[in-house]
Amino acid sequence: MLKVENISKSFGDFQAIDNLSFEVKIGDVMGFLGPNGAGKTTSMRVITGYLKSDVGSIYIDNKDIEIDPIHAKSMIGYLPEGVPLYLDFSPYLYLDYVCQVRKIQNSKKNIEKVINDLQLQEVRDVRIETLSKGFKRRVGIAQALIHDPKLLILDEPTDGLDPLQKFEVRKLIKNLSKKKAIIISTHILDEVPEVCNKCLIISEGKKVFEGTPNQLRRKENPQRYIGTRHNNHS
C-alpha cells in the first residue's frame, strides 16, 4: 500500500529526514516513534504530499505520488496533531463541509457511515466546541475517514486523552486496521504494543530501529530511542 524509498528533507542546514525507507501494507498498524524533533511530523507531511522531499520516492497503491498526486491523496486519510476543527459547527455540518471540499458524491451516505463507525450519533448535532477531547478526536478521525481511504495516517491520536478515551481510540484503530494500512505517530513507547504489529523509530531524521513490538521490547533499554530532541521541525 505505502512504500517509502530513501527520502530526505532539509530546511536550510537542518536535516529533518535523512535517507528514510519503510513499507506499510493493508492490515498493518505501524507505530512511528521518535523524540520530539526527530522528523516524524515532517515525514508524514512529505508522505501526504503537504511537503515535497528533496530526494527519494513515495509510492501509494503502486503509484508515485509525484507522478499521480491526485490519486495518491485520494488514498490517504490524515489526522494532523491538533487537527483544526470548525468549533461552531456540529460534527455533521463539519463532515458535510469536508465532503464538499473533497467533492465527494453521495456525501450523506459517507457521513452516516463514519458517524456510526466512530459512535458520534449522540453528538452529531452538538457544537464541536462543547465536546470532550475524546469526541473531538473522534471527529478528527472521522474527517480522515470520510472518503474511505486505504492508508490512514494519525499524528498523536491519543494525545491529551484520559485512559478510557485512549482505550476507545485504540479499539477503533484495531477495527479499522482490518481493511486499511495505518501509521500512528507517537512519542509514547507504551502505546505501540497496544495497537501496533510493527514499529519504526527515527532519531535526528534517521531510522534507528524497525521491527515488531516484541523485538523492540527485547532490546536493552528501548526507551533510549525515545529521548528528547528539541527543534521546531518535528
77-112: pLDDT as tens digits: 999 877 667 889 999 999 999 999 989 988 999 999
What is the pTM assigned to this prediction?
Answer: 0.87
Chain segment 156-198, per-residue pLDDT in tens: 888 778 888 888 888 889 989 999 999 998 877 888 888 999 9
Of 168, 166, 157, 152, which is closest to residue 120 (Cα–Cα)? 168
Mean pLDDT of the region 215-231? 67
CATH of domain 1-75+150-234: 3.40.50.300
Q: Compute the average pLDDT of residues 29-48.
A: 90
- Identify the CA nearest to 19 among candidates 56, 65, 58: 56
Instruction: Kindly tell me the number of DSSP H helices and DSSP E strands found in the chain.
Output: 8, 10
Start-end ranges of CATH 3.40.50.300 in the chain? 1-75+150-234
